Amino acid sequence: MDRNKLRELLEQPMAQDLMDRFGMAGKPAEAFDEQTITKLEPVWKLVDATKLPIHVPVYGEYDRKWWKEAVIYQIYPMSFCDSNGDGIGDLPGIISKLDYLKELGVDVVWLSPIYDSPNDDNGYDIRDYQAIHPDYGTMEDFDRLLEETHKRGMKLIMDMVLNHTSDEHRWFQSALHDPDSPYKDFYIWRKGKADGTPPNNWQSFFSEPAWNYYPELDEWALHLFSRKQMDLNWENPKLRDEVVKILNWWLQKGVDGFRLDVINLISKFEGLPDGDPLFGLLGMEQYFYGPRLHEYLKDMNARAFSLYDSYTVGEGCGLGARTTNCISMQSAKELNTVFCFGHFEEPGRNKYEDYAYDLNFLKNYMLPIQQDEDIDCWNTVVFDNHDNPRFLNKVSRDPAECEKIARLIALMEMTLRGTVYLYQGQELGMRDTAFRGPEEFRDVEAINLYKSLIESGKTEEEAFAYVAPGTRDQARTPMQWTAGENAGFTTGTPWLRLADDYELRNAEAETADDASIFSFYRKAIALRHAYKTLVYGHFTAEQPELADFMGYTRRDDDGEFYVEMNLCNHTISRPRSVEGMECLLSNYEDTAADLRPYEAAVYRIR
């Protein structure tokens, strides 16, 4: 390939995101040797095939919207609060904790899926989009939850899983058993290869081939996740009509928007070609930014989201900072925001690796995003969710350090630009726990991974030691309400074991203690609500080249604020004097001459 072509491709958002992943971030075409160019051949092909419009940034004043100012709290219903002693969290349990969320300062509640489901992937395998899982309660309970949430001035958004349904969904059952089924074409079917192997080499996210064989039809059906989560065929306009109906049905009910599960995966490249190992998970590049993605998103926006004052956040699985912006720019009328998880692990690492995450990486990742003041784009600020071990434990496993780090994260979250997300328990400083054996895993991803490691020759001990730190069960241990039996989560037997530290860390103790992590979050959220400059103000990095230090100002006509953070576990000197500034919140009791380990503070300059 000639250098001019390479230069042109490197300007593409897709190429820039991929270069981040391959450790070539920001390098000009001249920095690539022939060998690297050849090695990255599949990347150039993909970038050429996706041909994203190069976005021209817009500068000026951000539009003010409720969802830009919101602090959104994710509830994992199964683990939040059990009201009837069956060991499973439920809707009445959530209702009983709405005052707690209000006290914290939450604006919007996001519920992970509560629909009817066989729970192969805890509700991310939907059997009926318009019914509540009996474990969680009834539709009347849901209506009451919505009403009680609104009564308190909070909003509620639903998790929508539209890339796949459960294989127990009536559409799939009809496709399988009725030869004339109108729903057959709702899914992705192919004939196998002549030698009896699946139609292509794609692997599912959960350590299995991405195809199920159905002898009754002599065909294979695609599933990018578990073998019970069947991918929907978005090429079919009838499917898209059904999706639009479902979205409108919930909006009509009064919900305030949606979190759209793996929404970037809905369009697949024609012909479903084999995947290239260069991209990690086999097949990934054939669907993580498919050719009709924009078209499908615009359609949902036009026929559903835009008809209401609703908010959408897409989960962008495998997307980086720039491709995320491509589907969340306001002018495109697709989604309001898209999660970008590029900072969850250091480059080249995965969540199962037990390593000490360097906050300098986080800083270097965040600064360009924050400094980009393109008013057509709006980010999310997120550190924790139900799919990852607790962020603070990636940085350190030392309990005392974690006390500081939890507050540093809180302070960073509430002073960056973007819609802020909290995951249940983050506000208490909940941590990972030491699982005792594989029989304690409940997560399909962890169970399958454990099995596949054993099959590949690992011993049980080795497989367990690898999976335990990264299992999604880490984030899903029951919410710690009290120091009492089962942490006040249930009077029965919890569906997943509790973390070990609930006597020490629980909502009852922390809400009563003005110096707790909960109280720190409450104060940080209150600052964000009080000073809109922290939401919309200009962002200027302070001495960004200084290692172990992160500092920035937020400034507009209404005020100016300064944030300073020590990113490491030893003392560093303070690069900018804070004399004359008013300290609004700090994770230390006073201000010293130097910045102590993980010290973080926000000051008001004017």
Would you say 386 or 404 has its CB closer to ligand ISL?
A: 386
Q: Which of 70, 94, 262, 405 binds ligand ISL (CB under 6 A)?
A: 262
88 binds, among ligand ISL, Ca ion, none (CB under 5 to 8 A by kind): Ca ion
Would you say 494 or 537 has its CB closer to Ca ion?
A: 494
Q: Which of 124, 171, 391, 421 binds ligand ISL (CB under 6 A)?
A: 124
84 binds, among Ca ion, ligand ISL, none (CB under 5 to 8 A by kind): Ca ion
> With 0-12 CB in 10 A as exposed, 13-18 as middle and 19+ as buried, what is 25?
middle
As measured in angstroms, the least distance from the Cβ of 158 to ligand ISL is: 14
Q: Are 432 and 469 contacting, i.e. CB atoms less than 8 angstroms apart?
A: yes
Q: Determine if 107 is a binding residue for ligand ISL (CB under 6 A).
A: no
- How many residues line the site for ligand ISL (CB under 6 A)? 13
How far apart CA 66 and CA 70 sit, in angstroms, is 6
User: 155 - beta bridge partners?
Assistant: 108
Would you say 124 or 287 has its CB closer to ligand ISL?
A: 124
Q: Determine if 261 is a binding residue for ligand ISL (CB under 6 A).
A: yes
Would you say 205 or 289 has its CB closer to ligand ISL?
A: 205
Longest CA pairwise span in the chain (Å): 77
How far apart CA 112 and CA 75 sit, in angstroms, is 6
Q: Are 110 and 157 contacting, i.e. CB atoms less than 8 angstroms apart?
A: yes
Would you say 404 or 476 has its CB closer to ligand ISL?
A: 476
CA 370 to each of CA 20, 375, 500: distance values in angstroms, whole numbers, following the listed order:
17, 12, 37
Q: Which of 387, 432, 473, 510 binds ligand ISL (CB under 6 A)?
A: 387
* Number of neighbours of residue 404 by Cβ within 10 angstroms: 22
Q: Are 126 and 246 contacting, i.e. CB atoms less than 8 angstroms apart?
A: no
How far apart CA 258 and CA 311 sit, in angstroms, is 7
Q: What part of residues 161-220 is at the interface with ligand ISL (CB under 6 A)?
A: 161, 205
Q: Is 514 a catalytic residue?
A: no
Q: Determine if 345 is a binding residue for ligand ISL (CB under 6 A).
A: no
How much of the chain is in helix, strand and coil states, percent to nearest 5?
35, 15, 50
* Candidates 159, 167, 315, 427; catalytic one: 315
Q: What angle do CA 421, 422, 424 make, to 5 degrees?
A: 145
Would you say 387 or 560 has its CB closer to ligand ISL?
A: 387
521 binds, among Ca ion, ligand ISL, none (CB under 5 to 8 A by kind): none
Q: Is 261 a catalytic residue?
A: yes
Reported residue count of the chain is 606
Beta strands at 600-604 and 559-566: parallel, antiparallel or unpaired: antiparallel
Q: Which residues of 260-288 are buried (b: 16+ CB within 10 A; e: fewer)?
A: bbbbbbbbbbeebeebbeebebbbbbbbb
Q: Determine if 523 is a binding residue for ligand ISL (CB under 6 A).
A: no
Would you say 431 or 472 has its CB closer to ligand ISL?
A: 472
Summary count for the chain: helices (H), strands (E): 21, 22
Phi/psi for 117 (5° steps) reads -165, 145
Contact set with Ca ion (CB under 5 A):
82, 84, 86, 88, 90
How far apart CA 172 and CA 32 sit, in angstroms, is 48
**What stretches of 224-278 show up as alpha helix (H) in DSSP?**
237-253
As measured in angstroms, the least distance from the Cβ of 111 to Ca ion is: 15
As measured in angstroms, the least distance from the Cβ of 225 to ligand ISL is: 4
Would you say 75 or 524 has its CB closer to ligand ISL?
A: 75
317 binds, among ligand ISL, Ca ion, none (CB under 5 to 8 A by kind): ligand ISL
297 binds, among Ca ion, ligand ISL, none (CB under 5 to 8 A by kind): none
Instruction: Write each residue from 314 to 333 as x if it is in contact with ligand ISL (CB under 6 A), else as -, in one continuous string.
Output: -x-x----------------
90 binds, among ligand ISL, Ca ion, none (CB under 5 to 8 A by kind): Ca ion
Q: Which of 65, 351, 576, 604 binds ligand ISL (CB under 6 A)?
A: 351
CA 31 distance to own-chain centroid = 33
82 binds, among Ca ion, ligand ISL, none (CB under 5 to 8 A by kind): Ca ion
86 binds, among Ca ion, ligand ISL, none (CB under 5 to 8 A by kind): Ca ion
Could you give the residue numbers annotated as active site?
Answer: 261, 315
Interface residue list for ligand ISL (CB under 6 A)? 121, 124, 161, 205, 225, 261-262, 315, 317, 351, 386-387, 472
